[in-house]
Structure 1
Amino acid sequence: MIISLRQGLRFIRFIIVFAGLVYLFYHVLDLFNGWISPVDQYQMPTGNAVKVFQETDWPGNGEARLTLAERLRLFYWYGE
């Protein structure tokens, strides 16, 4: 099996260009992520925000009590 020097250098150049483009693409996506995500993801909500998961039911709700598994399934079903 004969491997030419020209083909080997072309392959190495391809790998270097590919790695450089992947690196550049990663950093562009990282900049976009920094731009689109909120400043502090874990700050306390303000305004009309409510807790998603509560340990007790609201009094006078009229609905049957949901188990923990049912509430978790409902939480994931809504996609919140």
Structure 2
Amino acid sequence: MVFSIRRWTSRVFFILIFSVLLLIVTGGYRWLADAVSPIHPYREPKGDALKVFVTDPDSPDSKHAADRLRWFYWYGE
């Protein structure tokens, strides 16, 4: 078996350069995604702002299948 040092060093050099460039590109992508992304919608409001949650109304107490089916299609519950 012939072991060529020149060939193996070129392979190792290629893998190192590829890894470094991959880390640079992924870091740049993370930075760009953080810079472009909108403000986090679930963060705590600042100042006098209040966060309001909408709750779904209670399900109908009716035992009729049509009412329960309408409720299911309307609210997805």
Q: Shorter-chain-normalised TM-score: which range? A: 0.5 to 0.7
Question: Structure 1: 5+ residue runs without aligned partners?
Answer: 58-62, 73-80
Indicate the residue corresponding to 1:71 in structure 2. 76
Q: TM-score, normalised by structure 1?
A: 0.57
Does 2:34 match 1:39? Answer: no
Kindly state the Cα deviation for residue 37 of structure 1 after the two structures are TM-superposed: 1.4
Please say which structure displays the higher CA radius of gyration: 2
Indicate the residue corresponding to 2:6 in structure 1. 6
Amino acid at match of 1:32: L
Alpha carbon RMSD of aligned pairs, Å? Answer: 3.2
Amino acid at match of 2:9: L
Give me the identity figure in percent.
20
Post-superposition CA distance 1:31-59 (Å, at most 9, x none): 1111121233413688xx974xx4326xx
Q: TM-score, normalised by structure 2?
A: 0.59
